[in-house]
Amino acid sequence: MTKPPVSTIRRDRQTPPVRGRLHALAGRARRPRRIAMLSVHTSPLHQPGTGDAGGMNVYIVELAKRLAALGIEIEVFTRATSSELPPTVELAPGVLVRHVTAGPYEGLIKEDLPAQLCAFTHGVLRTEAGHRPGHYDLVHSHYWLSGQVGWLAAQRWGVPLVHTMHTMAKVKNAALAEGDTPEPAARVIGETQVVEAADRLIANTVDEAAELATHYGARGEQLAVVHPGVNLEVFRPGDRRAARERLGLPLDAMVLLFAGRIQPLKAPDVLLKAVAVLLARRPELRERLVVPVVGGPSGTGLAKPQSLQKLAAQLGIGDVVRFHPPVGQLELAEWYRAATVLAMPSYSESFGLVALEAQACGTPVVAAAVGGLPVAVRDGETGALVPGHEPEQWARALEPYVTEPELVARQGAAAARHAQGCGWGTSAAATAEVYAGALARPAGLLAGARRRLA
């Protein structure tokens, strides 16, 4: 995967605040010493696959570790969700997680958190105030809630703000699953403010960068494209037979795997409906077909946590579908290796880390042709892209993978080769370049953000 060039931002020059003045003196590209990384609504310590924990958690953990390996210290600020959590946890050498008290520890969902941003911001600023001026060289915020905090912290400290959206309200609302709840107007407004305030916006793909420009007015000089990566030490090819033995799967099964959060956006129901269509057309496949669903309810899926189990029963495929709770990365890699193919019918994906992880394990991927999935999956080479969400379409796309073993072997080998060029080290190095570019200009607010604060 070729790393795209990092664009250069032109910023309005002004005298920076005293606390950030040292950062503006050099005026040359340099890597930061220490980053304040913000993740308000979900902690890098949480188990991906349930609640609000997902690909963003993996992204922050892996990026922080690789940046630390490059000599950049990372401090991740996240909301404390238990009174028993220590104030700080060392995630890895050079990576510190700071728990900020902001509202009740339990009982708050993501939609409740805008009311706690003031408290969270106070905790972040108070932590920095306990250090000598210039403790943080840069703020990197993740998701729009964190961007709201990062906007103020970066301005207060006189340092650049780098922001990664991960998902965008306008993009999600344009591709809602049937019956799903649209993102509120308050989020759209908040995202627009963050885009205007950020010095750099890191997009996962060129298409995401274009969406930031089209939907939110991001300027070309703000945008940098950095593909996420995959942990090649954990996700690697292995013995499929041994993986199935360890997971209790039939050795001769045709395994159609879904791995991720169970919510309408991820569309696991599309997979189940496609399986029902496939079995109606090819009933002889039933004896060998296994459809594991590995993950837990999340987002709007929390309102009906048993809906997928009920759907499987209604479709008459309860005998082939197996539900498993979220698992850690090592066991998740085993599920990928055990699978014949991974299915990702999502309505929206900023990139689709799960697709890259499965391919790194030598498993082809059948994915919806949305968001970053056409970048993660090479259509016809490492899997297949489906231009829609109709169950009949998906049944046709999946059928060759359960009837043509040579296709699985060929595309699985190509998938593993494809993923080898997508390690997190490459992503971290490109992100460090984005940081250096942001530091090369005097720190301060963009014109639009200055007007709003005035």
48 is in an annotated binding site: yes
357 is in an annotated binding site: yes
173 is in an annotated binding site: no
**3 state DSSP class of 316:** coil
56 is in an annotated binding site: yes
53 is in an annotated binding site: yes
266 is in an annotated binding site: yes
310 is in an annotated binding site: no
54 is in an annotated binding site: yes
336 is in an annotated binding site: yes
Task: List phi, psi (to 5°) of 224.
Answer: -140, 135
Task: List phi, psi (to 5°) of 386.
Answer: -110, 120
Say how far apart CA 256 and CA 338 lie, in whole Å: 10
Nearest to 43 by CA among 85, 71, 104, 93: 85
DSSP, residue by residue, 233-277 = TTS----HHHHHHHHT--TT-EEEEEES-BSGGG-HHHHHHHHHH
Nearest to 215 by CA among 245, 266, 173: 173
327 is in an annotated binding site: yes
308-315 — which CB contacts under 8 Å span 24+ positions?
308/262, 308/268, 308/269, 308/272, 311/269, 311/272, 311/273, 312/272, 315/272, 315/273, 315/275, 315/276
328 is in an annotated binding site: no
For residue 326, what are its two tokens?
């979220």
Say how far apart CA 451 and CA 454 lie, in whole Å: 5
**3 state DSSP class of 302:** helix
Nearest to 265 by CA among 376, 353, 182, 384: 182
**Rg of the chain, C-alpha, whole Å:** 22
261 is in an annotated binding site: yes
Residue 176 per-residue DSSP state: P
List Cβ neighbours of 97 (8 Å cut-off, separation of 6 or more): 43, 44, 45, 75, 76, 78, 88, 89, 90, 91
Contact 364, 411 (CB under 8 A): yes
Say how far apart CA 397 and CA 386 lie, in whole Å: 7
For residue 385, what are its two tokens?
């892209």
Sheet with 289-294: strands ordered across: 321-324, 289-294, 254-259, 341-344, 365-368, 383-386
167 is in an annotated binding site: yes
246 is in an annotated binding site: no
187 is in an annotated binding site: yes
Amino acid, single-letter form, for residue 5: P
The 3-class SS string of 44-56 reads CCCCCCCCCCCHH
Annotated binding site for UDP-N-acetyl-alpha-D-glucosamine: 47-48, 55, 261, 266, 327, 349, 357
Would you list which residues are annotated within the binding site for 1D-myo-inositol 3-phosphate?
41, 52-57, 110, 143, 167, 187
Binding-site residue positions: 41, 47-48, 52-57, 110, 143, 167, 187, 261, 266, 327, 336-337, 339, 349, 357, 363
Q: Which residues are annotated as a binding site for Mg(2+)?
A: 336-337, 339, 363
